[in-house]
Amino acid sequence: MKKMAWVIMGVLMLSSSLKVKAEVDPNFHIYICFGQSNMEGNAQWQSQDVGNVDARFQMLATCNFDNPKRTLGNWYKAECPIVSPQGKLGPTDYFGRTMVAHLPDIKIGVIAVAMGGSPIEMFDKDKYQQKLADNPNEWWAQLSKWYYGGNPYGRIIEMAKKAQEVGVIKGILLHQGCSNCGDPNWPDMVNKIYKDMLNDLGLQAADVPLFAGEVEYQNMGGGCSSHNVQVDRLPSVIPTSHVVSAKYLPGNGTDPWHFSAQGYRYFGQRYAQIALSAIYDIDIDVDQPAVPETPKEIDHRFSALTEIKTAHFAIIDESEQKAFYGRHEQFLGYGDFSQAFAELNSGYLFKLSKTGGGFRLRLITPEGNDYVLTGDFGFLNSQDVDGDRCFIGGVNGQNGQDLPKGAVWDIQYVEGKGFTLRNVGTGKYLKSNDTAKYDEPTYFTFCTLKDGSSGIAEREMTASQKISTGWYTLDGRRLSQKPTRRGLYIFNGKKTVVQ
């Protein structure tokens, strides 16, 4: 009887084991998604993103959510936000939606772990502890502690093993790079993490490819576009990796690192397009963003337009609807751009034209010709580079050396900091009106008028101006009354700022 009982128990245990294995659904395909803020999702979802998710697209909660209420380790329909309570709309959303739309008999699940600003080392199981110890107050360090117990890689492996109880891991999605921008070691670091994941989960590279997305392109305002050189190297380091293009994906118009909601939709579709082709041998067409118009490029702008030395000009910041304007080196005002250019009549209009998260300096001639400004151009600097004067560098060198001739300059805007100027050819940043030779950017702004100081080089006044009472513009025009427009004026023979 005892022997029979042991036999029956053995049969029951074997049956139980077979039952667990039978619960693994071969048609439930799961993808690990990790990275920094773009993978976390950075765009506010819109009405078109809500309430239309196919129930076959599932997310495994990798942390606890309050709104909507979700519990770590449980599966949910993949409604926004997918990654964490901090995250918003990202590429994961439309990756999954596109996958289920083209795989009618397959469920798609995602396991997503990402922290805004996170360096790639935070996903290296041998380096994350030191990285945390060295940077305890960084935002990404706080996120890793709040949501992933301080060990993002460990949370991925923990949740992936849980997912393997019900489905099959088919691929890994990565979007990271800005926090390691341009590091030539980045592909090897990604390779180590990829191999660690495969080993810890008992997977084979041939069965689980890696899909890595590019960062925002320079012509769309991207602030770390140079990192795409490293992203594009991945297939030479990881044979089972695929690069997902970010070409023409629109930025959010606020910063130079993140995509817009529409950009994330396009990006998610592109991830799915590559995955469907690589894993399922299915080729699909996806929505594509409009190719941005590119104005004509002309080198040596100031040598070609020598009359700029006498012409009127305005440099316009369209986001602020303000313009610095004047004649040659005479500062006339800083105010509403339409009024500024109206006063200039036939002057040249330099537009800081917004493209994604950044700006490009363009020249629009009175005839309506539109050019990207390259070569030797002027810029405004509020920092104390040459005494206490603002200067227009690259026009005639009066306030310092000319900018390097023949260079192509990229202007990028960073919210709250100002503009950076980078030599496209060398990749080096400008710090003063000397050669661009710095790896770290210096931020420039419009000339600011503070504490009654104009920041403009002294202009010689005539004797009559020095003794005359009343208000004058800097070019000597007498005004009938105190000006109402903010700017620098001459009052009773002294320069005066009107706020």
Residues assigned a catalytic role: 37, 255, 258
Look at residue 192 and give its three-state secondary structure: helix
In angstroms, rounded to a whole number, what is the distance separating the alpha carbons of residues 315 and 324?
A: 5
Nearest to 32 by CA among 197, 196, 148: 197
Question: Around Cβ 104, how many Cβ atoms within 10 Å?
Answer: 7
Neighbour tally for 405: CB within 10 Å: 12
Closest by CA position to 433, among listed 406, 399, 459: 399
User: Would you state the structure tokens that stand for residue 89, as one six-digit string?
Assistant: 């709309």
Closest C-alpha to 60, from 146, 153, 161, 128: 161
Q: Report the alpha-carbon distance of residue 333 to residue 325 in Å, rounded.
A: 6
Q: Please tell me what DSSP assigns to residue 217.
A: P
Q: What are phi and psi of 418, to 5 degrees?
A: 130, -155
Pairing status of strand 296-298 against strand 168-175? unpaired
Cβ–Cβ under 8 Å, residues 104 and 280: no
User: Could you tell me the two tokens for 207?
Assistant: 């069965």
437 token code pair = 């030779």
Instruction: Kindly report the backbone phi and psi dihedral angles of residue 142, in degrees, each rounded to the nearest multiple of 5, phi listed first.
Output: -65, -45
Within 275-385, strands assigned E span 296-298, 312-317, 322-327, 330-336, 348-355, 358-364, 370-373
Q: Which residues pair with 418 in a beta bridge?
A: 414
Q: Which residues of 357-382 are buried (b: 16+ CB within 10 A; e: fewer)?
A: bbbbbbbbeeeeeebbbbbbbbbbbb
In our burial notation (b when 16+ CB lie closer than 10 A, e otherwise), range 439-456 reads eebbbbebbebeeeebbb
What DSSP string runs through 359-419?
A: EEEEEE-TT--EEEE-SS---B--S-SBTTB--BTTSSSTTSPPPPTT--EEEEEETTTEE
Percentages (nearest 5) of helix, strand, coil residues in the chain: 30, 25, 45
Nearest in space to 295 (alpha carbons), one of 221, 226, 219:
219
